[in-house]
A = this chain, B = another copy of it.
Amino acid sequence: MKRDSRLSSVLHALLHMAEQEGPVTSDALAQCLGTNPVVVRRTMAYLREAGIVTSDRGHAGGWRFHADLGSVTLRQLHEALGEPAMFAIGNRNEAPECLVEQAVNAALEDTFAEAEALLLKRFSEITLADLAADFARRHAAVRRKRS
């Protein structure tokens, strides 16, 4: 099962955009992410629809992020991406008549619902600013090691 890496992608892209003055093109982001500009446009389009970024065409166009890094949480980004399924494991049959299967489903659903609630809570606690700060720490550490 292929894993959905769009959240990872947009985080990476947004942090690179934050490092830059002015707009960043899909081509530049694609290079950062090691992918294709069309994939970038497709993925970033979710964020544009959610009002998190804007895009401009033509000369000096590209993607822009206006808001404060501290004001955007992973949860908002997850929602902007359409709240894709978190889990790769699920019930065999979502609405079974069989009472045995109903009992099985209920147990798994409860468990996964609890885990999803935890994930969403953590997502709502982490902002882009937190990731940027972690990046800055890593950057400083590398520079220390080099000198």
**Minimum distance in angstroms from A78 CB to a CB of chain B:** 8
Q: Convert A114-132 into 0s and 1s, putting 1 for each residue whose CB lies closer than 8 angstroms to a CB of B.
A: 1110110011001000111
* Residue of chain B at shortest CB distance from A122: B111
Q: Does the CB pair B8–A92 fall under 8 Å?
A: yes
Q: Does the CB pair B93–A34 fall under 8 Å?
A: yes
Q: Does the CB pair B88–A32 fall under 8 Å?
A: no
Q: Does the CB pair A106–B119 fall under 8 Å?
A: no
> B residues within 8 A CB of A8?
89-93, 101, 104-105, 108
Known: A5-B90, A102-B135, A103-B134. 6 other contacts (CB 8 A): A1-B85, A3-B85, A3-B88, A4-B88, A99-B138, A115-B116
